[in-house]
Amino acid sequence: MTVWFAAAAVATALWALLLLVLAIATRTPDITPGPPGAQPADESPAVVDLITGGWRLCDEAASATLLDLAARGAVQIEEVGPELSLVRLRQAEGLNPYEQLVYEHVRSLARDGVVATGALAEGSRNLGRWWKSFRKKVIADARRRGLSRARWSRAHATLLFAAALVPAALVAVAVTVADTSADSDRDGGIGAGVLAYAALVYLAGRLNGERGTDLGVQAAGHWLAVRESLSNSRFADKPAASVTIWGRPLAYAAALGLAPRAVRSLPVSVPADDRRAWSDYGGMWHAVDVRYPSRLIWGRPPLHAIGRGLAAGFFAGFWTWIVLIVLSAFELWPRALAQPGGFAVGLAIAAVPAGRALLDLTGQTQIEGQIVRLRRRRSGGNENRPKYVHWCAVDEGRGRELKAYGMAEEQWSRLSEGDVVRARAGRRVGWIGEIEVLRNTAHRGHYADTQDHLIDAPRNLGEVRPGWGEPDGGMRS
């Protein structure tokens, strides 16, 4: 038994040594910055972000791409006020796949060809899927230019997968031999082997990713020299609209981390803020603040609110009665008024939510506007059957602060942010009873995912399958 565990330990150590050797052999060569005074080359800002960020694409790549589109005339960014800048669509030709992806996102949000810069985070798109598509397209371009390649080729992946089977099998055998239970069905060894294999693959995956070629390292050194030159231009406080003056250097500065203000104002690749939304309802883009009140009463069906009010009144009245009885024992309260006092307190506590809910049951208000936020929050249940509260915030064009309403899941699941709706809701307990979509959103949640460059661009080994892709694995050697 001890021999099998020792063999499993030795095999695991040898596999770890193989992983270490491959990691050293496939690391990106050291990058040496080029000579001072270097000028920008022909790589796009997104590719520059990739190769100067350790071959990991950073969030500012999408914002830098949009700035580059503005510098080249595909869009126009203009500042119309201290809190409002606009992106205007122009004719776009000759865009590469990831530039087209950013352009299509802007177009999907635009109303009459215009969208507020702050609204670039809006929409019902799956941001994770969008970013993955953007990332793969940038990597495809970098590989086409010979600047990047996968850290491990198909041969490396096959070797690691196959080699991991040996220590995993020995672990399975060792556990099986060690299991001396008379009633054991010996499944423990198989389970231990599977877990050991999964752990080894996960460990290998942590070291995988994209790496630079010799040409890529040379290009990265050149762009580090460009970064040094651009760092003297005070791009840090330049707004995105200043791209009309600075042109492509501002886009490259954004990709190199030198223009944080411009990047923050173009939230293309960041999630939308739950509490601050952008709406074009009424014809002009504007920001609204969204509040999600406490659910003691708000955001519940009226009957539920009545029930909670009665329950709160009962407990408040009961404990008030107990306290008054104690006080009466010390002659601090008339004993004859203990029960009426508790009843009065309980009634007062229950009357407020119950009264508000009853008013909503008999007199709901009509709401018409644009949905700006659809959110759900975990409110209880267990892992198998979680419970959620479903929020819907509607901009009626009347103010800059909104309260989100609660609603049933069946209704909530049929809606999209950007829909123009008419609803009947109770403004006292914040519950939408009926809702009708007047106009489906035509400008949110869509983008062109062309899938014209299906390549292996994994974040970890678990995304690499031996035998996939082109004969050479779709990678440059």
Confidence of residue 127 (pLDDT cuts 50, 70, 90): confident
Does position 465 have pLDDT exceeding 60, yes or no? no
Going by C-alpha positions, the residue among 285, 248, 351, 302 that lies closest to residue 106 is 285
What is the amino acid identity at position 298?
Answer: W
Query: Distance between CA atoms of 245 and 119, rounded to whole angstroms?
Result: 23
Residue 472 token pair: 């050479």
Tokens, residue 255: 């990709």
Q: What is the pLDDT of residues 18-61, one digit of tens each?
A: 988 988 888 888 888 888 777 888 899 999 999 999 888 998 99
pLDDT over 70 at 447, yes or no: no
**373 close to 406: Cβ distance less than 8 angstroms:** no
Place of tokens 């010390």: 330
Q: What is the pLDDT of residue 222?
A: 93
For 273-302, what is the mean pLDDT? 89
Distance CA 458, CA 436 (A): 43
Sign of CA pseudo-dihedral 161, 163, 169, 175: negative
pLDDT-derived band of residue 467, with 50, 70 and 90 as boundaries? very low
Residue 477 has pLDDT above 50, yes or no: no
Q: Give the strands of the sheet with 114-116, arranged side by side.
A: 75-81, 84-89, 114-116
What is the predicted pLDDT for the residue at 329?
85
Which uninterrupted H or E stretch holds 421? strand 420-426
Q: What is the pLDDT of residues 96-112, one digit of tens each?
A: 999 999 999 999 888 88
331 burial via Cβ count (<10 Å: 0-12, 13-18, 19+): exposed
Amino acid letter, residue 129: R
Mean pLDDT of 208-213: 85
Distance CA 132, CA 142 (A): 15
Among 87-96, 110-119, 258-267, 292-301, whose mean pLDDT is lowest?
292-301
DSSP β-ladder status, 210-212 and 148-150: antiparallel
Query: Could you report how far apart the first and last alpha carbons of the chain are, in Å?
Result: 46
Whole-structure pTM value: 0.78
Angstrom distance (rounded) from CA 256 to CA 285: 30
Of 67-71, 79-83, 405-409, 431-435, the range with the lowest mean pLDDT is 79-83
217 close to 31: Cβ distance less than 8 angstroms? yes
**Cβ pair 106, 87 in contact under 8 A:** yes
